[in-house]
């Protein structure tokens, strides 16, 4: 079964209709402005586990929304069960 993304407008749709968006955060311990820029431009958390991410329904309602997904299993985690 392929990954289906729950769009708040359109319901569950195939992942291929969406664009994945990462929510970028620069860690607080980086204080040097150059370091912060480098981190923002290139580095990723690349977390294993439940992550909050943004998706854009490019081939649908064209709405950005947030979901929580477990990157180790690719399952969508409902907000209330986390």
**CB closer to another protein out of 40 and 63:** 40
**Nearest Cα residue to 5 out of 79, 80, 16:** 16
Taking residue 55's Cβ as centre, other Cβ atoms within 10 Å add up to 20
Q: Half-sphere exposure of residue 68, counting CA atoms within 13 Å on the CB side?
A: 8
| Least CB distance to another protein at residue 80 (A) | 22
59 binds another protein (CB under 8 A): no
24 binds another protein (CB under 8 A): no
Are 34 and 1 in contact, with CB atoms under 8 Å apart?
A: no
| Least CB distance to another protein at residue 10 (A) | 17
27 binds another protein (CB under 8 A): yes
Taking residue 3's Cβ as centre, other Cβ atoms within 10 Å add up to 13
Q: Which residues bind another protein (CB under 8 A)?
A: 1-3, 14-16, 18-20, 22, 27, 34, 38-39, 41-48, 69, 71-74
């Amino acid at each position: 079964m392929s990954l289906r993304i729950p769009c708040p407008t359109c319901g569950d749709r195939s992942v291929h209709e969406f664009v994945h968006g990462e929510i970028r955060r620069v860690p607080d311990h980086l204080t040097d402005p150059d370091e912060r820029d480098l981190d923002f431009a290139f580095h990723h958390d690349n977390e294993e586990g439940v992550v909050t991410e943004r998706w854009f329904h490019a081939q649908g309602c064209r709405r950005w929304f947030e979901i929580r997904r477990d990157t180790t299993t690719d399952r969508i985690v409902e907000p209330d069960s986390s």
